[in-house]
Structure formats: structure tokens, C-alpha cells
Structure 1
Amino acid sequence: MIKPLNLRGRTITANSNSAKASTAAFAGRGAYWFLHTFLKGGSSLPGKIASRIDPDVLAHLGRDYDVIVVTGTNGKTLTTNLIVKVLKQKYNEILTNPTGSNMMQGIITAFLAQPKSGKGRGIAVLEVDEANVAPVAKYLHPKAFVLTNIFRDQMDRYGEFYTTYQKILDGINLAPDALVIANGDAPIFSSREFKNPVRYFGFESHSTEDLMAPPNTDGVLCPVCSHILHYHDITYSNLGDFFCPNCGFKRPELTNQVTQVNELTPTHSTFAIDQHPYTIQIGGMYNIYNALAAYAVGEAFEVSPDEVAKAFAYDEKVFGRQEVVHVGDKAVTLVLVKNPVGLNEVLDMISHQDKPFALATLLNANYADGIDTSWIWDGNFEEFVAGNHATSYLAGGERYQDIAYRFKVAGVPEDELQIIPDLGDVIKAIPEFKEDQVYLLATYTAILQLRKKLADEGYIKAGF
């Protein structure tokens, strides 16, 4: 029997001066009201203003919340969204940062935007950038950390993924009583012993095969002895039922697991967790992991499997995560891509589309995207193009030349490739595609820019 997580949190003493913190919160909320009333945006500036007045304002804002930190390379936004839906089945006062603004200023803004309404303690489910886990933990003393995965990502910011993991551990070490809910299929998450209580989730495996990951896969060296890891099963990339034939390091015992995958399409997935059947209205094996993480949090917070099913049945697309926008008579599916593993999973997902479709890719290289675009060369574009999955291609964004050249090297015929740098012109070109379905892959700032232009032209509502 798993002992339920105790939600009766200890009282957190804010470090900031009460009057100073109150002034900072008042100024930040005023800025938020102005920006959202008149400019239809502002997911980080209010937090920046508040923290300028009181650098410790987050401790004041979060003092009445039990905090769940969701972090990792891929899947943070959707996992956070699913956790919120799951916990809303049982709890009323839940705060989150729905825009995906996951650094300190954005997290402060989330608290400014959602003042606490009731008495007692609320729950804050926060998507947190890996490098910001320690600062957030310092002020908010989390009740739980949810670890999705770690892959090579924005190396100009993080370096190798062992460095990224250390940033996360630095935050977890500040809250030794917090529950860690981690992806057990990721070797790195069980490579060091936690002081914290820990539960692992993953995919059930009954295989006795001896497999090895493809040669270009990151993270397949044993984190204990540096021997090449072997697998009984691989779900994707370096995730799976791993073991080291040299030192004996192996996947930990799983508390929660996907016990069956029944159907995978570009628009939905049907599967079972701990023998309970579920459907989510979003495609991709990687998104089943996100649902599994949300289920694991739900169990820890005493949400029943039936209540989880109700939460998963709610079909609401998250910003940039397979949201569909209709431009003319074309259905445009927006998908955020930012690193090789995520890109390859998206390419695999859309390759299951059974009708002709166009593939547009918008590449930016700003700070929030990662300024190094070399990661596109690790995408499986050659395999995708050779499979004749897409029938038209478009390259755009600030680094349109990079992605256009990548398409050409992958074998996209020149007469099937449009090169359109300007995003306004991209929107104008979409109705001219011969296909009814367009998958539009874009980096973070490219999606922000595109959505603003779509809002300006009336295709979507402004904001998020």
C-alpha cells in the first residue's frame, strides 16, 4: 500500500519584509492588470517589476501554497497542464503558470495573476525551467518534484545533460522532505541516491531481450561506470528498461507503469496505466509519458483512477502542443520543437497521418530557443522524406536558410519546397497548399511570433 502524500504543509516563513513584499505584489498586480487589459499580454514583466522592488517577493506570494515543481527537458508544459486537470478533480484552489513562462519572473507573474481566494492552503503546480529549480525551491519549499526526462537541449544555456541534472538536484537538495516523482525509464534519474522519498514511473516490460540504442543516441553510457547501457525494451531515445552488463546498474522498481498501449495516432492515444484504461486527445508516445507522470501525481495526492480518466477526457490543447488553428480551409496543427529527441518524436508521430499533409518548419535562434541551430542535423529528416510522408514543405522563420538547407540535404525536391522567411507571408501561403492538413513545427519564439500574427488577423484570440 502506498502511503498518500500528506498535504498539510508546514508553515513557510517568507524571507521578505512584509511591507516591502506587499508593495511589490501591489505594483506587480497593477502591471499585470494594465498589460492584460490594454496590451493583451505580459507573462513575465509583472514578475520582473515585483522582484525589482523586493527580490524575495516569491516567498511572500507562495507562503500559503503546497508547491509541485514540474521540470525536465521535454514535456513540462503538457505534464503541468495534465496535473492541474487531475488535481482539479479533488482540489479547488490550484494555481499554475499556463503560458509556459517558466523562469523566475514568469513564475512570480503566475502568483500575481491568480490571487488566493479561499482560506487554508492551496496547491501551486509550476512548470519550472531546469536552471530555475534551485531558486524556486529556495523560496517555495516544494512538496513534490516531477522529473520528466533530460535530453541534450540548448547547449549554449545548459551544457551537457549531466550539468542540467545537477541544476535540478541542487533544487531538490533544498527540500529533502519533498516527494520526487521521476521517470524511471530515464537512466540519469536513478543514478544518484535521493535523500527524498521517491517514486518512479515508466513503461512495463516483460522482455528478456538484450538490445542497444541506436548509435547516435544521447545518454546511453552507464552513469555509474560509463559502460554502454543495454535494454530489454526501448520506448524512444534512451528511455526504457535499461541495465548495465558491466556494473549491474538497472532500471529501478516502478511504482506506476503503462501496462498497455492500444492505439497511437497523430490526434489521440489509447493506453492503460496500472491496468486502468485511458485516452488522451493528443498524439505521440512521448505524450503518454506526460499522462503517466500526471497519473503518478494524482495517486500521490489521492485522486482516484476514475477521476484521472475524467481529467484526461477533457480535450483542451495547450499552447503550441498540437493546437489546431484553421486558416482558410486548412487545418494547421502547431507543434513546438526545440531539440533532436523532441523533433524526432514529432516526425514519427505525424508520419502516422493517413491523409496527405504539408510540413512547415519555422526556425528561430533567440535566447529562449537556443542560439545554436546545429540540433536540426540530428533530426531524422532523411528517413521522413524517404518515406514520402509529407507532400509539400515550407521553410521559414529568422533562420529560414538553415532549415531550408536541411530540407534540401534530406532530399526534399525543390519543386516541393517553399522558402518564406516572413511569418505574415507564411500565413498567406497556407491557404494555397494543395493539402488540407498542415503540420507546422516551430521553435518557441517562432510560435509566439506566429500566434501574434494569427491573432492580429483574427484566426485566434489574442493572448494564451
Structure 2
Amino acid sequence: MSIKSSLAIATGRSAYWFLHTFMKGGSSLPGKLTNRIDPDILTTLGRNYDVIVITGTNGKTLTTALTVKVLEEKFDDILTNPTGSNMKQGIITAFLAHKRSRSGKKLAILEVDEANVVLITKYLTPIAFVLTNLFRDQMDRYGEIYSTYQKILDGIANAPQATIIANGDAPIFHSRKLPNPILYYGFEHQPDGELKAPYNTDGVLCPQCHHILHYKYLTYSNLGNYYCPKCGFKRPELTYRLTALEDQTPTSSTFTIEGQQFRLPIGGLYNIYNALAAYAVGRFLKVAPTEIADAINGDQKVFGRQEVIQVNDKKVTLILVKNPVGLNQVLDLIKLEKQPFSLITLLNANYADGIDTSWIWDGNFEDLPALAIPAYIAGGEREKDIAFRLKVAGVPDSKLQEIPELDQVIKAIPKLPTQQVYVLATYTAVLQLRKKLSDAGFETAPM
């Protein structure tokens, strides 16, 4: 190791120790300092690790958490970035913070921002890439889904021997011929039918002839068993299949993958895809299906992802929303709630959220009035935008409070008329609200 690398690592680890000892943590600054001293430090830090990169629009954080739990059934030394700090500096910090064991296979399971895949693979050579999905998200940063996919492919090109573990139900992941070995996972739980995706769905043009794709069945958005009636392009053969979907509630899902039943203690069809991706990685690394089930069936609440906070007598469920597809899946999730609930929507427009908030107009907020929700709060830095969107969707003024300050939102929660409260919030709003709740002494509710 060079003197420069040694100095960089020592500086970064000292910064990490100080921040986590005296400042309640820091997932980015240690990596920034280390990278400033030695821009090639990831090559040194990642030496002797088998790296798996998990990327895509939605589901990266939960897929990473589930994958780590699955692989812990077989491997002892697993490094990851659990805070969701998924750009280069955050990944450097994850390496700095990890305490390595002296023996056995060393794995690094890394959630990586789509635009950072090429930056990471400049220094690390993964053994596998996990591709979750691609939806329109943060247009100011990524552009359309095809340009986002190209950013990912630029990173994959640095590791042509790595195995790609891709969502086979996403047409875009079957649109380009690559030299890498590819394994596909997906849903195969319904009889074949004949339908098209909704009119405003992205990514439903055949990549070969540009005809509109048809589906034998859809799960959501552009995901499903697709085919082109004009040129014959179709979904690839799946390596790992979900074969039955038995039950869904707002807090759990029961399903079967290749004969093994799972009960995921978190709701949402989109989260079943995350579990299926984790299953695929586990099988890729020879973890037995029964061991995978043991890992996935445990408590998998992830910071800000359906985390339930007890606020006096209220159970407050925090759910991250950041784009139309994810938002609509969350709205479908809360429709399953059998108990009365109040709804808080928090909209920020910082860099990490995406500064363009026009995406809220593609969300199915018009479904809300039919749910007979007794009370709404609109808040966050762009409170007026989200309040106006709710009003246009049919939410009456008499049920809607506009409260931009998060401290005041927290004070308003105990006064809401229902015990169950859902909070749909963009990324920085989740972080801000979660910190303020913690500072006020409110913590995760008991299961």
C-alpha cells in the first residue's frame, strides 16, 4: 500500500470515528476526505473482495438489505452500505467502516446510484450486477430511462465477465446484447391473457421494431410477460420464478418462488420483486432455498421504508416516494389497509430528491377520495405544490392541513383522528422527519 493510500485511509477512518462518536454519524464526509487525498483509493480498499453491485430506479436499498440477510446464511464477512449512501464517497465510507474478518470469502454488496456505476467499476471489478428496474426518475439528473440504462451499461462494460442478474419482466433489460452471462428473475404466477400497459407507461416500445409491446400479464407499470406481436421480441426465459402470490396486506406478502414459500414482513408488490432479486443472488452464490426463506421471512424494516414510528398513540408508517411508478405502487399498497388512516405527504425538491417536482402530476392521487381518508397533511419544502396537487385530485379543503415545517407536522400527528398514519415523503424529507422524530424521543414501534 502506498504512503498516499495509507494517509487517505487513516484520515477517513479518523473522520468516521469522530463523526460517529461525537456527531451522531456521517456516511459521506469520510469518503469525501479519503477520495480527495487518493482518488484511486477504492482500488486499494476493494482488493480481495468479491463485489456485487445492486442498481436500478426503485428498490435498491431494500434489495441490498435483503441480499445481505440472505448471504449471511452462508458467509461471515459481508460489507455493505446500509444507509443508502450509494455514490462514490458513500461507498468509500462503507469500506472504511467495515471490520474485516481474518478468514473466509469477503463479499461487498453495494447499492450503487445508477449514474455512479461507471465510477465504481473504474476501480472495482464486480462478480455480478443486479438490475432491479428502470423507471422515469429525477429527470434533471438521469434523463429518460434509455439514457439511464446507458449509464449503467457504461459501468457494466468495465466488467464484461461479471454475471448480470436482471429483472426479466423489464423489457429494457432484454433490449441490448451484452457479452456478460445473464440470469433473469421474474413473475410467472398467472395464466396468459392479452393486454397492453396503461397509455402513459414508459418503456413499452419494442426495442427492435418500436411497435407497442403487448403483455400476457402485467404486474405493474411496464413489468410483466411482454412480447411484440409484430417482430416476435419477447421476455427471455426466466432462471428464477415467482410461481404463486398467495396473500398481500399493507405490512406483509406471502408468495412462492420455485416451490419455496416466503412471508415477507413488508407490504407491496414492488417489494416482492426486491425479495425475488435477493433470492436470485442467493442462488447464484449457492445459498439453499430454505436458508433464503429463513433470511427473508425475518423482520426487514429498513430506515424510511415502511418503518413504523410510535408517536403517542399513533402508529406512523414512513414510506419513501420519489417517482410516479413508486408513488402509484405505494398508493396501491395503502388501499389494502383495512383500518381508518390519515395521510401525510411531504415534498422536497433538493438534489437528492430531484429538483423537478412535475412528477407528482403523474401519480394517481385521484384514487384517494374514494378511500374516505378523514384527514390529510401536506408539508415539506414544496408544501404548496403537493397541497395543490391533492386539491386538484379531489381532496376537500376541509380535510387538508398545509404545514410546511416538519416540527409542526410532528406536533399535529397526535391530533389526527386515526390511530394509523401513513407518511409518504421524498428522500430528504424522510431523512429530516426521521431525525426530528428521533430527537423528540419517538422510536420504532414494537412489532
If the TM-score is normalised by the length of the shorter chain, which range does it land in? over 0.9
| Equivalent in the alignment of 1:415 | 398
Q: Do the aligned partners of 1:29 and 1:46 also contact (CA within 8 Å) in 2?
A: yes
Alpha-carbon separation, structure 1, partners of 2:189 and 2:81: 35
Q: Tell me whether 1:434 sits opposite 2:414 in the alignment.
A: no
| Equivalent in the alignment of 2:222 | 238
Alpha-carbon separation, structure 2, partners of 1:281 and 1:152: 28
| Equivalent in the alignment of 2:6 | 22
**Structure 1 residues 244 and 295 mapped into 2: Cα distance closer, same or farther (>3 Å)?**
same
Alpha-carbon separation, structure 2, partners of 1:323 and 1:275: 30
- In structure 1, the gaps of 5 or more residues are 1-16
Alpha-carbon separation, structure 1, partners of 2:128 and 2:180: 10
Deviation at 1:119, TM superposition (A): 3.2
**Which of these residues, 431, 435, 443, is aligned with residue 448 of structure 1?**
431
- TM-score, with structure 1 as normaliser: 0.94
Alpha-carbon separation, structure 2, partners of 1:265 and 1:460: 23
| Equivalent in the alignment of 2:252 | 268
1:132 counterpart SS class: helix
Alpha-carbon separation, structure 2, partners of 1:452 and 1:436: 22
Q: Tell me whether 1:79 sits opposite 2:79 in the alignment.
A: no
Alpha-carbon separation, structure 1, partners of 2:302 and 2:15: 25
Alpha-carbon separation, structure 1, partners of 2:262 and 2:374: 33
Q: Aligned letter for 1:346?
A: V
Deviation at 1:355, TM superposition (A): 0.6
Alpha-carbon separation, structure 2, partners of 1:33 and 1:149: 36
Q: Aligned letter for 1:72?
A: G
Q: Tell me whether 1:395 sits opposite 2:378 in the alignment.
A: yes
Q: Do the aligned partners of 2:189 and 2:245 also contact (CA within 8 Å) in 1?
A: no
Q: Tell me whether 1:295 sits opposite 2:284 in the alignment.
A: no
- TM-score, with structure 2 as normaliser: 0.98
**Which of these residues, 235, 238, 251, is aligned with residue 251 of structure 1?**
235
| Equivalent in the alignment of 1:362 | 346
Deviation at 1:384, TM superposition (A): 2.6
Write out per-residue CA displacement over residues 205-238 of structure 1, whole angstroms, 9 at most, x where no aligned residue.
5634221011111111112221101000000000
| Equivalent in the alignment of 2:158 | 174
Deviation at 1:184, TM superposition (A): 0.3
Write out per-residue CA displacement over residues 79-135 of structure 1, whole angstroms, 9 at most, x where no aligned residue.
000000000000000000000000000000000111323235400000000000011
Q: Tell me whether 1:183 sits opposite 2:130 in the alignment.
A: no
Q: Aligned letter for 1:244?
A: C
- In structure 2, the gaps of 5 or more residues are none
Alpha-carbon separation, structure 2, partners of 1:79 and 1:391: 34
Q: Aligned letter for 2:287?
A: V
Q: Tell me whether 1:108 sits opposite 2:92 in the alignment.
A: yes
Write out per-residue CA displacement over residues 144-198 of structure 1, whole angstroms, 9 at most, x where no aligned residue.
0000000000000000000000000111111011110000000000111120111
Q: Tell me whether 1:323 sits opposite 2:293 in the alignment.
A: no
Alpha-carbon separation, structure 2, partners of 1:391 and 1:149: 34
Alpha-carbon separation, structure 1, partners of 2:105 and 2:291: 22
Q: Do the aligned partners of 1:336 and 1:447 also contact (CA within 8 Å) in 2?
A: yes
Q: Tell me whether 1:125 sits opposite 2:109 in the alignment.
A: yes
Alpha-carbon separation, structure 2, partners of 1:460 and 1:23: 39
Q: Do the aligned partners of 2:32 and 2:89 also contact (CA within 8 Å) in 1?
A: yes
Alpha-carbon separation, structure 1, partners of 2:16 and 2:94: 10
Q: Aligned letter for 1:460?
A: E
**Structure 1 residues 65 and 389 mapped into 2: Cα distance closer, same or farther (>3 Å)?**
farther
Alpha-carbon separation, structure 1, partners of 2:440 and 2:382: 24
Q: Tell me whether 1:332 sits opposite 2:327 in the alignment.
A: no
| Equivalent in the alignment of 2:27 | 43
Alpha-carbon separation, structure 1, partners of 2:372 and 2:103: 54
Count, aligned residues: 444
